[in-house]
Amino acid sequence: MMHGRLFPLQAIFLLALVAQSGAFVPFSKCRDAATLWMGNDGSAKHDDMDERQPSAAARKTSAASTDSNTHSVAHMVRISYSQEDESSSAPSRKINSQRQSTQSRDVDVPVYPGETILAALERLASSGGTSGANIPPPFDCRRGNCLTCSAQHTSESAATNLIDTTDNGLSPYVAKTIAERGYVLTCSSTVTGPGVSLTLGANNQLWDYVYRGRLESEETESAARAAMAKAIRISAERNVEEWAEQTESAYQKSEPTD
């Protein structure tokens, strides 16, 4: 008898044992390799995957119906934004960027309950559902304090149908300034009713009010002068000899020369 080889009778005997044990499944019952799996007893079983798992088309239909049920009511928000005029050529825009012509465009954006305006803009931008409108959503938003996603109510906007969530993470000063100036942060604002109309691109104006204007106010300058004087006094008290030398030197320079 040769090792590593089976005689015909031995091979037939082994095949008979395999078939009798149930571990062999005829190929006529296996439509797909993915439908063949091993049972707990080690035997191969055939599972009808079409009955256990819906098809891709059925999953898409189910997901679409789920989304429609979840977002059954959407409030249309009129979004106004400025877009560079595409009729002007690229070289001319590069040569004289200050004279670029822009056009004001309006588009209605559906905002679902509980969805922020910024999330709606990003959703439409990713799905291409803005009917050709090139809305530039602020993807570099930093959750409020950057003011990148700032907007303003238009004159006909129903401002009472827009609310700002309480967990927007803003500092009290920033939140107060935004509310007093009538601005909106789309990253944390949700719509509760129809008639909301906003104009994007207000981040530079709001930045002036919140940050740059704050540094240029008389109150801020007065506080800065007081802090500087206090720092100079503390330094002089800790370094009396150096302060005396600097004071004497300054006095000598201020004396008139003959």
pLDDT of residue 234: 92
CATH topology of domain 73-85+101-202: Ubiquitin-like (UB roll) (3.10.20)
**pTM tops 0.75:** no
pLDDT of residue 128: 65
Per-residue confidence of the chain (258 residues) as pLDDT tens digits? 445 554 555 656 555 555 555 544 443 443 333 333 333 343 334 344 333 333 333 333 333 433 544 545 888 888 887 765 544 444 444 444 444 556 777 888 888 888 888 888 878 777 765 554 556 555 555 555 678 788 888 888 887 887 776 566 777 788 888 888 888 888 878 888 888 888 888 888 888 888 877 666 677 778 888 899 999 899 989 999 998 888 888 888 877 765
**Is 110 in contact with 75 (CB distance < 8 Å)?**
yes
DSSP state of 160: G
Let me know how many helices (H) and strands (E) the chain has, helices first. Answer: 10, 9
**Is 36 in contact with 30 (CB distance < 8 Å)?**
yes
> CA nearest 169: which of 183, 153, 185?
185
pLDDT of residue 231: 92
Non-local CB neighbours of 108 within 8 Å, separated by 6+ positions = 76, 77, 78, 79
Domain boundaries, the chain: 73-85+101-202
pLDDT of residue 127: 74
Euclidean distance between CA atoms 52 and 58, whole angstroms? 12
> CA nearest 185: which of 172, 195, 194, 174?
174
**Is 124 in contact with 109 (CB distance < 8 Å)?**
yes
pLDDT of residue 102: 64
